Structure 1
């Protein structure tokens, strides 16, 4: 991507207030994810039974739970855990899925057939059901949760990378490079991968949102992050018996999930508008009118 195109892309991104707000929210969330252990005002497992089920106040911004633990501190650390699981699992899916998709789309033939049939089989299962199967086989825990979410999102990146690679490999500059005797690895690294980065960046943003939802769902079912480590899904599960007595136990963890997922989705939409040539042309045409 040229400097002029990059500058134009940044201008389009900055011209969209929704994208700017979502990016700012993600910066704040990323800061929380990095510093949660230091900025949390209380210990996540500090039990204070006499102050149990206290509503939000100056001492406890998000109130306390049934054991008197500070909900604000637990939400901060749980957000850190959710982001860590989401980032690592999606990174795994990107590496494996893009590798499979690029090789499949570039080589074609029987290799493409085999890879895509495996991907089709994985797509036949609902995402959460496949993740539950992986966790049930390997046992609950943080590592298993990361692996399960990474596995279920790998086929998505494989398909996106394959489709993009198949459209790029027939471009004239790839044919010229191949006719000059350039090696396949050089073509993949110099021509193919940089030109399919746009759709992959958008898919990464959207997958991070769904990975956070998947982690929360697994933890809600007791198969994700295990106590005493707090998780947003587990906090919502624990609040079920106190909904009428302490609404804050469910509302604040749920709000953390909602805001994070919404920010990733809105950023993904903004990136798609900029990186997709058709969407970009439409936006630029509207701006000129």
Structure 2
């Protein structure tokens, strides 16, 4: 396939995405979450650590839309700020993992030889450990906190991006337009920037959306175990942990933080599945055939 043909395929894919209501809804949900994350400090009705003991364990009402916790703190305000913190951790850690992982994967796939062998063996070693267990180990060594949480999640997702980038690079580097560029004496840097990287963005976009969902879950799990964001900073995982002793008295303390995690992760996964369907030529052909019936 020519490079122009790949551009046409990509245009068809984006048209299919725009015509899928599930994709549009999940994208709008993530856009709303992003807006909340950017504006949470200003739209939160109360301070996240404003203690009001007389309001402790009050159910959802006009004064506290999502109720109050055991110290009378507004659950809505804490959820908004916690979403902001979770998105910050997820976006920064996944960006860090993508930059390093894609760089390693593209170089390994394009160069091959000993570089490919060394990088892939390192990736295999990291894949031998469960993601959460490896993140827990890193945080346990470096100590809990925002920075170490971001670093731990970022490190454990580097191998995923490296594998995706390498596999895509191996398929693109044998295309005729890449071979022609080589025969014309074009430098490797230009080939990578002009031909390789732009044509492997499809799988990487899918992996980005899926990794964001898992990063949200990882941050919540670390915070639930006390190894993520530390009090008094609110965290969705920590809020669920703190609500364990009040489940029968104040269900809202656990339900709303859990619902926030559920909505964000579901939206990321649905968007990732939709992207995977339309960016895969075989799946895209099947979808187009069904629509023509």
TM range (shorter): over 0.9
- 1:188 correspondence with 2:192: yes
Match of 1:267 in 2: 271
Match of 1:142 in 2: 146
Unaligned runs of 5+ in 2: none
TM-score (norm 2): 0.97
- The structural deviation recorded for 1:5 is 4.5
2:17 maps to which of 13, 16, 21: 13
What do the CA deviations read for 1:55-113 (whole angstroms, capped 9, x no partner)? Answer: 00111011000000000000000000000000000000000000000000001111111
Secondary structure of 1:196's match?
A: helix
Match of 1:22 in 2: 26
- In terms of mean alpha carbon deviation, does 63-72 or 14-23 score higher? 14-23
- 1:224 correspondence with 2:228: yes
Match of 2:201 in 1: 197
1:251 maps to which of 252, 255, 258: 255
- The structural deviation recorded for 1:7 is 4.5
Indicate conservation of the 8 Å contact 2:101/2:158, yes or no. yes
- 1:121 correspondence with 2:133: no
Count the aligned residue pairs. Answer: 289
TM-score (norm 1): 0.98
2:243 maps to which of 218, 239, 242: 239
CA distance in 2, matches of 1:48, 1:101: 52
CA distance in 2, matches of 1:254, 1:138: 28
- In terms of mean alpha carbon deviation, does 196-205 or 279-288 score higher? 279-288
CA distance in 2, matches of 1:23, 1:175: 37
- 1:80 correspondence with 2:80: no
Match of 2:35 in 1: 31
CA distance in 2, matches of 1:21, 1:58: 29
Unaligned runs of 5+ in 1: none
